[in-house]
């Protein structure tokens, strides 16, 4: 899709958008729930519909008109590799370059890791256990002599878990964090973001000249930029960023031992290359993790899209969406169990499964004609309220504000300045999540929940709004689709379906947990105060917005990416454990 076409259609959609303020008085679709808790929406005569454009909408047009266009043909993310086969793909008219993965490539790992004798994996949180084990197993299958060693701080209770995974002091694969950093040729810094911000100087001082720093998140770059600093010039800096949480990275890799190609997609970036090895090392790292395909990005684009995505559809937004929809359905007469099924179970089950295998359009096309009307009402009313929060969130991330808030929050976890420690509390004790426990306890093994048209419309509107913000901010389609769609439906949502959204919010990475707590209420309030008021007040459905959704070129790009996705769906048992070690130990 050409940049000019995107800008024009987006502006046209905005200009034809009805007001979603509480001042709208007419009614198009009014929700009603019967005593049996089944839902229906009664159409209101068109004579009661008044179409107008609000002042607020015009303000959005003015703002979004200044946003950068999508990645253009001149924005190159091309790269050179002397070890792996690079492939050119076309996504919505944009050429991008990827490397396909597969276990048949493991014999090339020694060539990719030329000059590397030891890979130090620092940290045992979300990504550490998965990446260390995947790297170790892949190198062993390749009969490589490269050693994978875990580095932990002295006295860490994670030593026991690392030993249980097969890493020991006796065979040189487990040791002190600083000894491991100093002795490694490739240092994978997988400690929490706030810990990186507090310890980066010591990490840099212990690294060998010409060694390589590997990151799985661009957070540290964002933190350094906020301080006017950069990485030392005598080391290379690369990133491999799996588009899924650590347990998903490991789970699909293990499944991939039986089905070649199973795994989690990853992006890679070369921020600094002191000796020409960085690209092949990064690609080797990604292949060894089991990534089905690896696409190029920059470290800056990665942290912007990733931190933003965590606060958006990957966690924060979906948390806010299900809370406000559950409350709405119960208030309109649904039983709590049915309301939970029509919110959480719908999104994390049937909707995610359908999007994963067939794309977003399949969700809409699988509905009845009446169901499509409900979907359209929800989509039309929710798109811009979601985009408003997403737009603000992206700019908070890009400006460094979110990064600073994560660093400061991490420091509030401990007593200082005479004030007590304030670690994050859990959210799983409220009524909604207790209802979820009962629903999952009686759920049939393969029950994916009901396909609720209204819930589907809100969720898909959220997904499309996130896609559009990233598109306007210049991200590649590979990054957009993985951060807004694939990571949600192929990695996070299956775990949420198994254990609940609240379990994910309470047990994912510190940065994501903080983001969800901060931004989920914003989505909740904006949808409740704007979108649902619009539906209940009868704001007309924006047909241009629906038409744009149905014809958006992102759907073609998703089809291309679907052919590159894992050849097996992630298998998540009901008792799937993805609690971080320190949380298990503290409980």
Query: 198 among the known binding-site residues?
Result: no
Closest to 253 (Cα-Cα) out of 264, 245, 265, 243: 264
Q: What three-state secondary structure class fits 99? A: strand
Query: 468 among the known binding-site residues?
Result: no
Query: 368 among the known binding-site residues?
Result: yes
Q: Which residue has tokens 């959609």?
A: 13
Q: Which residues contact 232 (CB under 8 A, 6 or more apart)?
A: 204, 207
Edge-to-edge order in the sheet of strand 212-215: 87-91, 94-100, 293-296, 266-272, 236-242, 212-215, 186-189, 118-122, 147-152, 174-176
Query: 483 among the known binding-site residues?
Result: yes
Instruction: List, by residue number, the catalytic residues.
Output: 217
Q: Which residue has tokens 């811009």?
A: 384
Q: What span, in angstroms and rounded, lies between the C-alpha atoms of 268 and 265?
A: 10
DSSP 331-394: HTT--HHHHHIIIIIIIIIIIHHHHHHH-HHHHHHTS-HHHHHHHHHHHHHHHHHHHHHHHHHH
| Burial grade of 394 (CB within 10 A; 0-12, 13-18, 19 or more) | buried
E-strand ranges in 205-361 read: 212-215, 236-242, 266-272, 293-296
Query: 402 among the known binding-site residues?
Result: no
Q: Which residue has tokens 């409980």?
A: 587
Q: What span, in angstroms and rounded, lies between the C-alpha atoms of 138 and 144?
A: 9
Query: 306 among the known binding-site residues?
Result: yes
Could you tell me the sign of the dihedral formed by the alpha carbons of 510, 123, 245, 112, in that order? positive
Q: Which residues contact 77 (CB under 8 A, 6 or more apart)?
A: 71, 96, 97, 295, 296, 297, 298, 476
| Burial grade of 167 (CB within 10 A; 0-12, 13-18, 19 or more) | buried
Angle at 230 between CA 226 and CA 233, to 5 degrees: 180
Closest to 220 (Cα-Cα) out of 580, 579, 511, 517: 511
Where is the binding site, in residues?
306, 310, 368, 483, 487, 509
Where is the binding site for Mg(2+), in residues?
306, 310, 483, 487
Where is the binding site for substrate, in residues?
368, 509
């Amino acid at each position: 899709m050409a940049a000019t076409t995107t800008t024009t259609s987006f502006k046209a959609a905005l200009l034809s958008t009805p007001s979603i303020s509480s001042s709208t008085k007419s009614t198009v679709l009014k929700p009603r729930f019967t005593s049996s808790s089944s839902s229906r929406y009664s159409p209101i005569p068109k004579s009661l519909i008044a179409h107008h454009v609000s002042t607020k909408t015009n303000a959005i047009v003015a703002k979004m008109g200044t946003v950068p266009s999508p990645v253009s043909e001149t924005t190159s993310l091309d790269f050179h590799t002397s070890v792996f086969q690079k492939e050119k793909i076309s996504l919505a008219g944009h050429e991008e370059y990827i490397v396909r993965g597969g276990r048949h490539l493991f014999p090339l790992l020694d060539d990719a890791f030329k000059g590397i004798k030891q890979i130090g994996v620092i940290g045992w949180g979300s990504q550490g256990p998965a990446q260390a084990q995947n790297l170790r197993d892949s190198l062993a299958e390749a009969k490589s002599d490269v050693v994978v060693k875990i580095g932990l701080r002295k006295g860490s209770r994670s030593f026991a878990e690392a030993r249980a995974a097969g890493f020991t002091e006796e065979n040189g694969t487990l040791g002190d964090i600083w000894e491991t950093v100093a002795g490694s040729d490739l240092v994978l810094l997988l400690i929490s973001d706030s810990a990186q911000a507090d310890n980066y100087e010591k990490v840099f001082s212990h690294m060998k000249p010409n060694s390589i720093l590997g990151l799985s998140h661009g957070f540290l770059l964002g933190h350094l930029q906020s301080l006017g600093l950069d990485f030392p010039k005598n080391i290379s800096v690369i990133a491999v960023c799996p588009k899924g949480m650590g347990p998903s990275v490991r789970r699909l890799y293990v499944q991939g031992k039986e089905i070649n190609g199973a795994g989690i997609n990853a992006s890679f970036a070369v921020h600094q290359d002191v000796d020409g090895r960085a690209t092949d090392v990064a690609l080797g790292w990604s292949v060894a993790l089991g990534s089905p395909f690896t696409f190029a990005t920059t470290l800056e684009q990665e942290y912007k899209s990733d931190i933003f995505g965590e606060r958006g559809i990957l966690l924060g937004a979906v948390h806010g969406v299900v809370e406000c929809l559950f409350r709405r359905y119960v208030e309109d007469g649904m039983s709590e169990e049915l309301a939970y099924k029509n919110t959480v179970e719908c999104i994390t089950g049937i909707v995610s499964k359908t999007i994963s295998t067939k794309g977003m359009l399949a969700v809409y096309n699988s509905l009845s004609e009446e169901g499509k009307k409900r979907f359209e009402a929800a989509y039309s009313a929710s798109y811009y309220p979601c985009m408003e929060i997403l737009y603000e969130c992206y700019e908070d991330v890009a400006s460094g504000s979110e990064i600073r808030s994560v660093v400061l929050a991490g420091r509030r976890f401990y007593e200082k300045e005479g004030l007590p420690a304030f670690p994050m509390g859990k959210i799983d004790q409220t009524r909604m999540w207790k209802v979820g426990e009962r629903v999952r306890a009686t759920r049939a093994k393969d029950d994916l929940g009901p396909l609720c048209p209204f819930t589907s419309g809100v969720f898909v509107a959220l997904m499309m709004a996130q896609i559009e913000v990233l598109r306007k901010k210049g991200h590649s389609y590979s990054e957009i689709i993985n951060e807004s769609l694939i990571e949600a439906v192929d990695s996070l949502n299956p775990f949420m379906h198994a254990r609940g959204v609240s379990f994910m919010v309470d047990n994912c990475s510190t940065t994501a947990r903080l983001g969800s707590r901060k931004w989920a209420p914003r989505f909740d309030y904006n949808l409740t105060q704007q979108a649902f008021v619009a539906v209940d007040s009868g704001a007309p459905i924006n047909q241009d917005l629906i038409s744009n959704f149905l014809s958006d070129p992102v759907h073609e790009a998703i089809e291309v990416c679907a052919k590159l996705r894992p050849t097996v769906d992630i298998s998540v048992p009901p008792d799937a454990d993805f609690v971080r070690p320190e949380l298990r130990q503290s409980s």
